[in-house]
């Protein structure tokens, strides 16, 4: 699906730059909306999550990697201290 979407995008850009008919460009544009929705469906339906599951009291959506300690951290205080130390 990813290769098809990339190929479709490249074909769309090439056709718009070479002066293809307006009907073809418009139909490709409307088809691309359906393709994006289907692509998102495929990713959500068949994608595999390999990250850490959050507990109920956790609300951060990212983790910072601490190179010195060799572990991931998600506390804002650590990030602020790290920024102060770097200055």
Express each pLDDT in 50-84 by its tens digit: 666 767 766 655 666 777 777 766 655 555 566 66
Closest CA to 51 of 72, 68, 77: 72
CA 41 to chain centre: 14
Q: What is the pLDDT of residues 19-51, one digit of tens each?
A: 889 999 999 999 999 988 988 888 888 877 666
Query: Secondary structure of 30-45 in the HEC alphabet?
Result: HHHHHHHHHHHHHHHH
C-alpha–C-alpha distance, residues 85 and 87, integer Å? 6
Domain boundaries, the chain: 2-46, 52-87
């Amino acid at each position: 699906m990813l290769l098809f979407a990339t190929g479709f995008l490249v074909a769309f850009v090439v056709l718009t730059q070479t002066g293809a008919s307006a009907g073809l460009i418009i139909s490709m544009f409307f088809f691309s909306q359906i393709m994006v929705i289907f692509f998102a469906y495929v990713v959500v339906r068949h994608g595999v999550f390999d990250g850490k599951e959050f507990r109920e009291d956790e609300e951060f959506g990212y983790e910072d990697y601490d190179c010195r300690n060799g572990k991931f951290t998600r506390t804002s205080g650590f990030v602020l201290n790290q920024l102060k130390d770097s200055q």
